[in-house]
Structure 1
Amino acid sequence: MAYGQRWATSIAMTLFLLFSVVAEAQSARADAQDVSVDDRAEAADAYDQGTSAYLAERYELAAHWFERAYRLVPTSTALLQAVRAHDRAGNTIRAANLALLLRDRYPTDEHSKRPASSIIEAVKPTAVLVKAQCGAECTLELDGALIQHDTFFVSAEVEHSLKAAFEAGETSTMVRGKPGSTKTVKFAAPLPPPPPPIPRWGFFSSLGATVVLGAVTVWSGLDANNGVTAYETAARTANSPGINASGSPTPAEEAQALLEDGRSKERRTNILIGVTAGMAATTAVLGVFTNWKNESREGASRRVEPAVGVSNRGGAFTLKGRF
């Protein structure tokens, strides 16, 4: 009689798994349109390995293969089989966590709704339901292992380490709760790392630029001053009729040309004076905030970014920094 019961159980299990294979094929066509041929072949092989292990009642191994099949080609059927295998192996929390993923990722899959809900409800009174919320895209890690879903169960009355990894860094907390409780954990993305300190070469580069600008400014001033005598001479003879042979300029025209040239040189010199003064101020500030000892600075470290601009209408310099 016992032999007949075992035989009937084996037949029922075989039929059930054969049905699952058909469902798997249908699910794969619906959910994995963009998966490569190689990944589909590997997933099919992993699913077959899981089926063989399940029939042999090696549920831990079966769960491993079904999860691998799901990672290669995500389908609701492979995930459901992993849930069932973990449940049979006694890994109730792992089974419930995969059931949560199954329920939330495939809400319209009628075939998986009932078994997933059944396992979730069975675990809920004895475990802690954690709902993690990240302020930006993040990767969650529970007790050192990556988790696939932001809603999951953990063992009650035990402290668990929960970490969220963001692009700008990581943040973590400890989670502990009573059986049947629900914990909502919110993670805010950490501030971006502080900018690097100003290197010494930045100060010396600014100092060099200041010296060069100063030299150019001095030259420009001397060049502008050299034209004063010629202009004054031309201005004194501007009212003289002069000799205008072969289209040469009159004294008045020559004086006007010298005046415009002098004004242009004066404007250029004034621009250079302003830019040089700004660059000198920038160099002085950089000298104060330069990391002379190559020491690292904390997040509130001081930082200055100079910017200098020149145009035909004038010059400008700006300082942007953190103090």
Structure 2
Amino acid sequence: MRGKTRSFPTCPRRRAVARGAALALAVAALAWTASSSAEETQPSAERIKAAAEEFDRGRRAYLAKDFEQAAGHFENAFRDAPSKETLRLAIRARRDAKQPARAATLAALAEEKYGSDAQTAQLVNETLAETSAQLSEYVVQCAAPCTIAADSRVVSQSDALRHRVFLDPGVHDLGVSFQQGGSVSKRVEAPKGTSTSLAFEPPPAPRPTSAPTAAPVAATPSTTVTTSPPNEKPLGPAVFFIATGVTVAAGAATIVSGIATQNDPGPDAVRRGCVGQGESCALYQRGQDAETRTNVLLGVTVGAAVVTAVIGVFYTQWTSATSTSSASSSPPARLIRSSTSSSGASIRVSPFGLSGRF
């Protein structure tokens, strides 16, 4: 009986188990490497897990001969959980991807961090001997921890004060980003087979900007802004009219009192009734009291007239223009009525006032 060879398809479940086992081994290896290295800060469990996932992607990409993709995953794994094994795989992947500048830059980093490791030192020497003559080396010194980018691609693996970067011959834009904030850039022309030192300092902190001031708004030609004049006088016209009324009333009372003084008892009655009695005569005394009353009213009228004039001129704010009539050039006629008694009493009445004498 002839035997037959049968091929069995790979079980997806077995592939998943194998993949999980590989990932677990990668996590264990990275965790052991990170914990055994005295030069590196112990990464967190989350970063170790992320590094293991990147490492597994890089391994599968490398087996698929996608060397550039594999190198990117190995570099990501190194950033999350630095180890010499991961860095060596990244160097080999860059060499296989025909990217000598990136491979030499990683080799310079491996020489600085793991130069005492025999396997790492051998790979570093091979890589630099193979590529350094074709490249341009830049030793970058930063005044504060920084990262380096060449032509918008990050070429450093962490923030540091010193970096060795290899570039292909030609013109490149170097970008330096500082950990404390800020960045600077420099365009360089990289000649083949040379080494150049560069130094960078963080840019000065930006000055605090003041709040912008509002620009004045210009009035349009068609807009007219009018403002009322300030009210410099405290009283309105009503006060002046009230004062005028008081003055007129006082003047009327003065006129009435003057007429009464002249007629009650009157000069004729005093002359007839006070013959031979002198100033002690009752009629004379009554006439003198009337004269005093009239003089008091006259003083009140004059005072009210003065106050009214002051209010009208100096303290009244007139809100509308008033037309003024021209005064007559001739003075008003004065009416003087005199009467003399035997005792020498006389009374004078005029529109400006009234005065009497006995």
Larger-Rg structure: 2
Greater helix proportion: 1
